[in-house]
Amino acid sequence: MMSRPAVIVILILGCALLPMNDLQGTRYHIVRKGENLSYIAIKNGVSREAIIRANDIRNPNLIRIGKKLIIPEKGSNYLNYVVRKGDSLGEIATHYRTTISKLSQLNNLRDANSIRIGQKLKIPLTGSSGTSKPREESLLSTSLLKELKNIRVKNARWKGIVIHHSATTVGSAKGLDRYHKEQRKMQNGLAYHFVIGNGKGMRDGEIYIGNRWKNQLDGGHLKLEKWNKENIGICLIGNFQIHHPSQRQINSLEGLVRHLIKHCDIPSSEVTTHRLKHKNHTVCPGKHFSLKSLQSRLAR
């Protein structure tokens, strides 16, 4: 009988991208306490490397208890993916670290723009040339990502992300910081961890990293102290009761949330809004902000 591999410590600051959606005919494994990838591979009769490729695992030595892993078919060099609403071949290729040309060739596609909902695609497990980038790197600047990655995040501290609007058509992080210090008498100033500009006071889509995030301090954006200790606050400049956020704001928000989900190990289901957190208390971030749309983007 093959002996069980040694137990490893399963603690992480971040996690790999989650599968885009359930894959047709593909098996899954939920990681349990004491398991590592070698044990899971042996148990399921596949190679450790195939599991790593199928799940885009960045650090094979660190896997989270409860994580849902795709288990490729024995001897298979590809996964079966079913196209859903909002998918594009480019986004599928980026997520699975392959290329549009490889997907087109493997699936006999004459036109990369002609995939349809419900269509079955084969996704190669052999990896790409290394030129594709995670989606957050396509949405955020290299300098911003470097700054974010240099901030030491407190392990297991953050449980959720709450989105707000400033409720003003013009504004900036500096203006909000001054208001929170002088009018709200907040010792640490700016109540949010991040602010995203709309072009009126800050550049459109500009992400401001607040001192509360740099120093890993409690937020001041929610009513209960417990919630402020566990939830990251992101404020978009604008009044979304009367207009929609700009496309650049939404792109920056998606990139930032993707980064935080990955590096703080926050489930995407814990991304919410001020209104949903404080039911019947506020309309923030306004009727024209769509959490459903953001969740759909995050699921791609």
The pLDDT score that the predictor gives to residue 281 is 86
The pLDDT score that the predictor gives to residue 133 is 59
Evaluate whether 97 touches 137 at the Cβ level (below 8 Å). no
The pLDDT score that the predictor gives to residue 34 is 82
CA 34 to mean position of chain CA atoms: 26
The pLDDT score that the predictor gives to residue 26 is 64
Predicted model pTM = 0.59
Evaluate whether 221 touches 228 at the Cβ level (below 8 Å). yes
The pLDDT score that the predictor gives to residue 253 is 96
Domains of the chain: 78-132 (3.10.350.10), 138-299 (3.40.80.10)
Return d(Cα 49, Cα 47) in angstroms, integer: 5
- Secondary structure of residue 182 in the 3-state scheme: helix
Return d(Cα 97, Cα 93) in angstroms, integer: 6
Which helix (H) or strand (E) segment is 212 a member of? helix 211-214
The pLDDT score that the predictor gives to residue 17 is 36
The pLDDT score that the predictor gives to residue 126 is 55
pLDDT tens for each residue of the chain, 300 residues long:
444 444 333 333 333 333 444 454 567 889 998 888 888 887 877 777 778 777 767 777 778 888 888 887 765 667 778 888 878 887 787 777 778 888 888 888 888 778 888 888 888 765 443 444 567 777 888 899 999 999 999 878 899 999 999 999 999 999 999 999 999 999 999 999 999 999 999 999 999 999 999 999 999 999 899 999 999 999 999 999 999 999 899 999 999 999 999 889 898 889 999 999 988 889 999 999 999 989 888 876
The pLDDT score that the predictor gives to residue 300 is 65
- Secondary structure of residue 237 in the 3-state scheme: coil
User: What is the signed CA dihedral for 37, 43, 47, 51, rounded to 10 degrees?
Assistant: -50
The type of residue at 51 is: I
Evaluate whether 216 touches 152 at the Cβ level (below 8 Å). yes
